[in-house]
Amino acid sequence: MSSHPIRNSPVVIGEPITFQTVLGFPDPDAIVPRALPWVLAAGQPYYDWLCGNRDTAERTVAMWMRQPASEVFIQRMQFLLCGPEIAGGIIGLSGAELKRARSADLNSYWKTLDVHSREGLIGRLSKSLDAFAPVAEDEYYASKMGLATAFLGKGLAKVMLEHCLNQGTALGYSKFRADVQTENEPSLRCCLSAGFEIFYTGQSADGALKYHALRYERKTK
């Protein structure tokens, strides 16, 4: 079991906050449907755009969460617990891992498509070339972060982001990256308050995707 109390952690609804991996739960596979709504929401509007509709996006992300090579593999997630309750979670990974994982995700999704759907996917991907700034191999990427509805508005997103930064620091990274959809003001405020700065804003050719690319560098002692 991997469960870590947070030093000087806040208390939410009278409960202490800890982080735990999925392997710390009695039935790890049962956690996938509980985490799916947060992961799916964290990847919007990109997931719906990539897959063409919400139903396909939901099935695809659920498939990815069970695949070890995926960016959103359930074992990558650090779950935030408030007492015994799962409040949310966050995924962090290196730029090198991210590149491999996203390639694996596209390949596994490709295999589920017929010829017509594959043509549509190629067309969509060709329109997204300017939407995102690349993530360097020496950067640690704050990927999907989400909270259950009952735990929104309590400052927990910043707690999760700080945990992700600490993870990256422990692995030897000092440079960090994140991407935030331009209309997602709460996530943008969270990142900016943690020290991130916007260095690029990109948009897909069809105008459906518009994202801020943010970066942050921690000074090493």
User: Domain range for residue 96?
Assistant: 3-217
Number of independent structural domains in the chain: 1
pLDDT per residue over 114-126, tens digit each? 999 999 999 999 9
Which CATH number characterizes residue 31's domain? 3.40.630.30
pLDDT per residue over 12-41, tens digit each? 556 789 999 999 998 988 999 999 998 999
- pLDDT by residue for the chain (221 residues), tens only, comes to 333 433 334 545 567 899 999 999 989 889 999 999 989 999 999 999 999 999 999 999 999 999 999 999 999 999 999 988 899 999 999 999 999 999 999 999 999 999 999 999 999 999 999 999 999 999 999 999 999 888 988 889 999 999 999 999 999 999 999 999 999 999 999 999 999 999 999 999 999 999 999 999 998 75
pTM over 0.85: yes
How many CB atoms are located within 10 Å of the residue 3 CB? 11
